[in-house]
Amino acid sequence: MTGENKGNWWIWKVFWILLGLTTFEVLLGIFKPDFLNNTIFLGTKLLNHVFIVLTLIKAGYIVMVFMHLGFERKQLQWTILLPPFILVPYLLFILFSEGAYAYLMM
Amino acid sequence: MSDTATYGQAWKGGDKPYVASYGKLMMWFFLITDTLTFSAFLAAYGFSRFKFQDVWPKAEEVFTHFPFMHGDHPLLFVALMTFILIMSSVTMVLAVNYGHKMQKEKVILWLSLTIVGGAMFLGSQAWEWAHFIHGLDGVHATLVSNPYGHPLFADYFFFITGFHGFHVFSGVIILIIILINVIKGTYERRGHYEMVEKVGLYWHFVDLVWVFVFTFFYLV
């Protein structure tokens, strides 16, 4: 179990990671480097892919460390993670295919 | 909590295959359903934005205000709101951590700071909403029309940030109730601070949702 005899440094470590990533995202959002902003990859700007990857990293830290899921049993981890892992990509699939169709049909 | 004490009595109850308490499991299950709800909102937002991409407003051109500052400051205020929420998540983990160590005074301190953070976030959101509704050139933003672009933009903004804000509001109320119990010594007598842990799960989830709202509403 974390936190019982370990002090608080691991909490602040995650805090600095989250703050650093958020600051980086905001700077990218304000300055929009040409390379990232003009390169199109998989139908959208490379910049957006960077935002999404950074967001998923932040989400991972929040869920695994702050919400303590990383220290629970494997079975509990999968029970919690599998439904979103299956259903959210399905939602995204619907979004991309139907959104493109709806746009073309306008 | 020993695994072996109740082993082999599955039909008599008492087994804990996940080695997590009933309350924590139920909080997790609630959070899974809430995850799917927010995913559906954001996916619906993405769908509409995809469909109306030619007339969809750019968030950084809509949200450019910062209190007591003139001119355009895209992303700055929402970055501050994100910072406030991350900070209140940290104070929450600290409260949970001191709960494990049964240090009542420190739990009270960090739980109170978490409530302050939540209240500050709600205040910031009220400010953001007020500016958004105030609109441009005397044209206000409503559910049927707005001066920024497609009407759905305002609808999704009100709905998604409103639903998230209501989660924050409920969280603050629950945190206040738990804080009163901590001060009264309820958990001290119970011998553990698991209740603080459970409300902590909920609070981190609210932060988690904001991380995604921040990305998909303001950055992408």
Whether A59 and A9 share a structural domain: yes
Range with lowest mean pLDDT among A36-50, B154-168, B171-185: A36-50
SS3 state of residue A40: strand
Are A2 and A29 found together in one domain? Answer: yes
- Whether residues A84 and A100 share a domain: the answer is yes
Chain B, nearest residue to A106 by Cα? B51
Q: What domain range includes position A99?
A: 73-106
CA Rg value for chain B: 21
**Domain-embedded: residue B166:** yes
Query: Radius of gyration of chain A from Cα atoms?
Result: 18
- Amino acid, single-letter form, for residue B44: A
Give the range of the structural domain holding residue B117, as residue numbers without chain letter: 21-219
**pLDDT tens digits for range B101-113:** 999 999 999 999 9
Structure tokens at B91: 């104070």
Q: Are residues A57 and A14 in the same domain?
A: yes
Residues of A in contact with B82 (CB under 8 A): 22
Would you say residue B8 lies in a domain?
no
- Closest Cα in chain A to B101: A4
pTM for the predicted model, two decimal places: 0.90
Average pLDDT over residues B168-176: 98
Q: What is the pLDDT of residue B50?
A: 87
Per-residue pLDDT of chain A (106 residues; tens, 9 = 90+): 444 456 789 999 999 999 999 999 999 998 889 888 888 887 788 999 999 999 999 999 999 999 999 999 999 999 999 999 999 999 989 888 888 889 998 7
Listed in sequence order, the residues at least 6 apart from A96 whose beta carbon sits closer than 8 Å to its beta carbon are B50
State whether the Cα torsion A104-B214-A43-A82 is positive or negative.
Answer: negative
Same-domain pairing of A14 and A47:
yes
pLDDT digits (tens, 9 = 90+) for B200-213: 999 999 999 999 99
Do A11 and A61 have their domain in common? Answer: yes
Same-domain pairing of A26 and A56: yes
Q: What is the mean pLDDT of chain B?
A: 90
Structure tokens of B98? 């001191």
The whole-angstrom separation of Cα A47 and Cα A54 is: 11
Is residue B104 included in any domain, yes or no? yes
Predicted confidence band at B70 (pLDDT cuts at 50, 70, 90)? Answer: confident
What is the CATH classification number for the domain harbouring B153?
A: 1.20.120.80
A47 and A66 belong to one structural domain: yes
What are the tens digits of pLDDT across the range B21-57? 889 999 999 999 999 999 999 999 999 998 898 889 9
Q: Output phi, psi for B146, to 5 deg.
A: -155, 155
Cα(A57)–Cα(A62) distance, integer angstroms: 9
What is the pLDDT averaged over residues B7-25? 75
Q: How many CB atoms lie within 10 A of CB A92?
A: 14
Q: Is B56 inside any structural domain? A: yes
pLDDT tens figures, B90-140: 999 999 999 999 999 999 999 999 999 999 999 999 999 999 999 888 889
Helix (H) or strand (E) holding B117: helix B104-134
Say whether both A55 and A78 belong to one domain. Answer: no
Provide the domain count of chain A.
2
For residue A1, the model assigns a pLDDT of 44
CA distance B27 to B182: 20
Helix axes B194-213, B76-100, angle to 10 degrees: 160
Q: Which residue of B has its CA nearest to A28?
A: B219
Whether A8 has its CB under 8 Å from any CB of chain B: the answer is yes
- φ and ψ of B44, to 5 deg: -65, -40
Dihedral over Cα of B140, B141, B142, B144: its sign: positive
Check whether residue A12 and residue A36 sit in a common domain: yes
Residue B141 DSSP symbol: P
CB B95 within 8 A of CB B107: yes
What's the number of domains chain B is made of?
1
Chain B residues within 8 A of A102 when measuring between CB atoms: 47, 50-51
| Residue B35 to residue A66, Cβ atoms within 8 A | no
Task: Give dist(CA A11, CA A7) in Å, integer.
Answer: 9
List of chain A residues whose C-beta atoms are within 8 Å of the C-beta of residue B205: 67
Do A19 and A39 reside in the same domain of the chain? yes
